[in-house]
Each structure stands twice: as structure tokens, then as C-alpha cells.
Amino acid sequence: MDRRQKIAIIGPAHPLRGGLTTFNHRLAKEFIALGDDCVIYSYSLQYPSFLFPGTSQFTDEPAPANLTIYTIINSVNPLNWVKVGRRIAKDRPDIILVRFWIPFMGPALGTILRLVMKNKHTRIIGLADNIIPHEKRPGDKPFTKYFLGSCDAFITMSEKVMSDLRSIEKSKPAQLVAHPLYDNFGAAIAKDVAREKLGIDKKDKVILFFGFIRKYKGLDILLEAMADARIKEAGIKLLVAGEFYEDEKVYQEQIDRLGIRSQLIMRTQFIPDSEVVLYFCAADVVIQPYRNATQSGVTPLAYHYEKPMIVTNVGGLPAMVPDRKSGLVAAVQPMAIASAILEFYELGEEFFIPHLRAEKQKLSWSKLVETIKSLGRL
């Protein structure tokens, strides 16, 4: 049995909001449940405004109970990086698990971690959500390399990210682990109950697009699919639940041009954690029409609520959602997506449930913790 260890997670945490925050809270709780000490070092300033097109980076929801969160990292202040690096080095955690999802964070994290390395004790493991970003900017490659140079080992949650990692960092230890289940949004509720709370007709056929709305997620392609005559004839409705991270006007103009407003249920505000269960349980199927993707935090949510998925054949999505088992895989093209939606309703929700339940068993937090600790021993 492992001795009690000091674990530090570096990444977003309360009062910051979003999928990374949710993941970090849940992972910290897993370490604590297994008897380790675990703290999170989060950001006092995460994104400058030019990198954050949403309405707010912060949640109004209460802080999670029994978690120690230090809100101290300023992503744009080099003097802060030195201060934070020295502080964490002095704290001497046994293992640091650091989240890396955008090259912009490379300079801050790379500097902090190089200072931590000087204590000759802490093992640093990078959990890479992306290596090559969805939206490219100048400096991406050197910033990413600078970060990678500060880690002892890596974890990725998709084969695509592992491949991207190995195209730059060829020799350091790295392990692939499935994205664990998001089981911290509450148990499933009956579809009729969820729909009543959201004001959705119980008889409607409803597909769900969930999460921040950004170009790479392909909502515009899905809107084109909704204009397909076959979809209109079948009376299928699209529930869009999530905040716009780019110009909403472009989408609204597209909706009017296609004449599909009556087929849409638009809930385009940030969805608080307490309401996530309603949207997933109200839907028949979850759809991810992404242009590109390494992985998706929406997928483990769908698994938790045992909702079939329709995904496009990009990045790590087909591996996460085996075709005609956990869902359906379609080409990144409106007609193909429309055909997949219709095929789903022909097969029926129950067709997918046995495989969803089997796959769900593999997505454990204990497996991720075990991998982190094994890399921490190398």
C-alpha cells in the first residue's frame, strides 16, 4: 500500500468555472478519499480579456467543501511566477499534477515548474488536454516546448494528444488514460421530470448540443443539418445549452437564413453545475459535430447519464464513442450528421444502453490516480 503522499494540482479551480475546474475538484477529492494530502494551486488571473470571449470567468456557486485551493497564479506576471515557484518548491509536494490545455500558459507554468524542480524532490507530471491547440496563435510551438521541458512525465486522455505529444517530446515517460466519468453532477433523473423543469414538451424528439460555443465545435454545421428536409419532417428539435464564446450574431443570422428557429431550443447562457443533470436527462441523444477535437469533456458526462452520442470522425472522438455501440460516428458534413440523427431514432435509445453501461465501468478516477502515482515513482 502506498504511503500518504503530498499531492499538488496546478490548474483552474473555484471560483473559476468550466470543465477543467470541475475535473480538478473531482480529482483532488479522489486523492483525499484515498488518504493523500491534496491541494490545488489555481489562477488569480487565468486569461487576459483577448483570450476570453465569454461573459465571465467566475462562478457564483459556493466553493466545494473540504478542498484547499490557493488562488495565486497570475498567468501574465513573471514576478508572480517566481514567487509561486519558490513557494511550491518550499512546500515540497511529492507529486505535482499540472494541467496544460493552451500554449499561452507555457511561459507561466514552465517557469514555476523549473523553480520547483530545484528542490530535487518533487516529481512533475503534465496532464495534457491539448498539445496542438484548436485555435492557433503565434508562439504556440515555443511556449508548448518550454512547458514540456519542465515536466518529468505526461498523461494524455486521447490517442490524438499522445501522438501530438510524441511529435515534440519523444523520450519522457507518458501514459494514456481514459477521461474519467464526470460523476459529480448528481444522479440521473427521469426524462419527463427534466423536461418539465426546462419547459420542454415530453413528446418532442430532442438532441443536445452542450458546452461553450466555439468555431471548432461545429454548431454551424449542425444548424445546417437541422435544415435537412428529413430532420424537419421527423419533427426533431435541437437543444443548445451553453454560452457563446464568439460572435452570436453570426449564428442568429444563420438560423434565420435557414428558417429553423422553430426547431431550436436555445439556452445560450452559462449552465451552472446544479443544472447540468437537467439538460442531459432531458435529451434523447448528445451530439458533438466538432470540426476538430482531441477529446471532449462532454463525452464522460454523457456516459455518466447513459446518453448515446453522435460524434464526428475527428481526433479522439471515434475512439471514445465506438460506432453503433456507445453512439454513432458521422463525417463532418451536414447531410452525414442529419443521416446519423435519423439513424439514431430508427435504432432507438435502448439499442445503445448496454454498451454505454459497459464502457462506463472503464472510466474510473482510481485508474487515473494509480497512473499518476506510478509515474511519480519512476
What contacts 24+ positions apart, CB below 8 Å, involve 56-60?
A: 56/17, 56/270, 57/16, 57/17, 58/15, 58/16, 58/17, 59/14, 59/15, 59/16, 59/17, 59/21, 59/272, 59/273, 60/272
Distance CA 100, CA 156 (A): 10
Tell whether the model's pLDDT for residue 327 goes beyond 60.
yes
Q: For the whole model, what pTM was predicted?
A: 0.88
pLDDT at 56: 59
pLDDT at 1: 47
Burial class (CB in 10 A: 0-12, 13-18, 19+), 128: buried
pLDDT digits (tens, 9 = 90+) for 266-309: 999 989 889 999 999 999 999 999 999 877 889 999 999 999 99
pLDDT band for 3, please (50, 70, 90 cuts). Answer: confident
Tell me which DSSP letter residue 264 carries.
E
Q: Are 10 and 69 in contact (CB under 8 A)?
A: no
pLDDT at 60: 77
Q: Are 13 and 40 in contact (CB under 8 A)?
A: yes
pLDDT at 127: 98
- Which of 69-78, 216-225, 241-250 is least confident? 241-250
Burial 216-225 (b: 16+ CB within 10 A, else e): ebbbbbbbbb
Tell me which DSSP letter residue 333 carries.
S
- Rounded mean pLDDT of 34-57? 82
Tell whether the model's pLDDT for residue 89 goes beyond 50.
yes
Domains belonging to the chain, first-starting first, are 6-180+364-377 (3.40.50.11930), 191-360 (3.40.50.2000)
Sign of the alpha-carbon dihedral angle for 34, 175, 131, 147:
positive
Residue that the C-alpha cell 518548491 belongs to: 89
Residue that the C-alpha cell 498567468 belongs to: 75
Tell whether the model's pLDDT for residue 50 goes beyond 80.
no
- Rounded mean pLDDT of 3-8? 94
pLDDT digits (tens, 9 = 90+) for 124-163: 999 999 998 877 888 999 999 999 999 999 999 999 899 9
What angle in degrees, to the nearest 10, is found between the helix axes of 19-33 and 365-377?
70
Residues 6+ apart with CB under 8 A from 365: 26, 27, 30, 180, 181
Burial class (CB in 10 A: 0-12, 13-18, 19+), 85: buried
Mean of the per-residue pLDDT values for the chain?
Answer: 94
Q: Kindly compute the dihedral angle of the four CA atoms of residues 294, 216, 304, 374, in this order, to the nearest 10 degrees.
A: 20
Burial class (CB in 10 A: 0-12, 13-18, 19+), 156: buried
- Which of 17-21, 142-146, 351-355 is least confident? 17-21
pLDDT at 157: 94
Residue 12: closest CA among 27, 30, 34: 27
- Rounded mean pLDDT of 57-67? 84
- Secondary structure (DSSP) of 219-261: HHHHHHHHTSHHHHHHTEEEEEES-BSS-HHHHHHHHHHHT-G
